Structure 1
Amino acid sequence: MPPVPPILQRILSEPAADSGKILDSALSAFLDFGIKRTSMGEIARRAGISPATLYRRFESKSDLVEAVTIREAQRFVAKIDNRVRGVAGSEDQLVEIFVAFISAIAGNPLLLRLLRTEPDLILPRLTTEAGPILALGRTYLAAKLRELHDSEADVDFDPDLIAEIMARLAQSLALTPDGLIPIEDEAAGREFARRTLLPMVSGHTTG
């Protein structure tokens, strides 16, 4: 199994308990104004603290943006884990991982906001500089898929390859959501996954 990247280790770790209100305030401001137009003063005002107190917790807005991003990723991971936990059977879990991952990425409010109002900030990280983000998504998904692969002896597929396909599909859908692949209708998304994803699993055919 490949090593877990440090950023993924941070995402999977427990969030800092004392910064929740600050991160909530920052996310709220980012959704209202975008990242560029949000000042540390506005975030401090929403959090009910002084700017000096905010700067003692986060030395720069870049540090705060990173913390918000990590927290959003933690929520993203928790959402997938919670949904998969209630599903029995490796194939159904594989489908649910796919639907949860795709819908969470393509429907993330902050990502949608930045793509609409600050594309110069976010687009390079999702296109020409997307290698690290794809690697992060692939590593996380491969770990989840490897759990399925190892839990049932009759399931045989390449977790890394399926994770790569899922991560790249999520990237494409986040950038261009309009198309034939359903991302808003989860029932249709599950049917799509059964018709397209499961046949990639070695030895599986749909009927």
Structure 2
Amino acid sequence: MKTTATDGYLDAARDCILDLGWRRTTLTEVARRAGVSRMTIYRSWSDMSTLLGDLMTREWAGVVTAIDPESSITDQIVDSVRSLRGNELFQRIVELDPELLLPYLLNRRGRSRDLILELIEGAIREGQSVGTIRAGNPVVMARSLVLAAHGFVLSGHTMVDDDVSEEDLADEARLLITKVLAP
């Protein structure tokens, strides 16, 4: 994969957020860590919110597209949930700045979620064409699966205790997805 200057700037922003959290990260600090002038960063991003949007899009899209495309749609979704929950940037945002996720949960989808929906819709259409997935509107089905996955990504850890393990929840997610898609 070809690395661009923008990737270097986003890498610097990621490092800052991991070290300092989003609230304490500034475009000036990102520029310093990237080894460029503030104006270089300001030419691409007018504020930290815009930069964070690009960083989260790159990060979440990278997590999801790294999943084995040859695995079943069920495994792809469960593996994506696991990968997102284990992602250090995601963990740091949830730990220090969870309010950053609220716009994407309450007001808009965002680019990475659109990519995820596109991938799931495509897999559903493909499964429908060969009869392994039930008939239905693939757009509605994909959106419903993403909404269900949100709970596993964002709140799954609150359901783990001495009685229920993460693997138990992953198994239940597999069952849920399988039954939703069964022909």
Q: TM-score, normalised by structure 2?
A: 0.76
1:132 to 91, 94, 109: 109
1:122/1:28 CA distance change after superposition, 3 Å: same
For structure 2, which runs of at least 5 residues remain unmatched after alignment?
Answer: none
What are the residue-to-residue correspondences of 1:126-165 with 2, within 5 Å? 126=105, 128-129=106-107, 131-132=108-109, 136=114, 137-150=116-129, 152-153=130-131, 155-158=133-136, 159-165=138-144
1:49 to 36, 45, 50: 36
What are the residue-to-residue correspondences of 1:7-18 with 2, within 5 Å? 17-18=4-5
2:50 is matched with 63
2:82 to 94, 103, 108: 103
Counting aligned pairs with the same residue, the percent is: 24
**Amino acid across the alignment from 2:159:** G
For structure 1, which runs of at least 5 residues remain unmatched after alignment?
Answer: 1-13, 88-92
| Secondary structure of residue in 2 paired with 1:36 | coil
Deviations 1:20-43, CA, capped at 9 Å, x for gaps: 111101011111112121011211
| Bigger mean CA deviation after superposition, 40-49 or 192-201 | 192-201
1:194/1:104 CA distance change after superposition, 3 Å: closer
1:117 and 2:104 matched: no
Equivalenced residues, count: 176
Alpha-carbon RMSD: 3.1
2:66 is matched with 79
Deviation at 1:148, TM superposition (A): 2.8
**Amino acid across the alignment from 2:61:** Q
Deviation at 1:107, TM superposition (A): 2.8
1:102/1:157 CA distance change after superposition, 3 Å: farther
1:157/1:105 CA distance change after superposition, 3 Å: farther
1:4 is matched with none
1:18/1:149 CA distance change after superposition, 3 Å: farther
1:111/1:63 CA distance change after superposition, 3 Å: same
1:201/1:45 CA distance change after superposition, 3 Å: same
Distance 2:69 2:169 in 1: 18
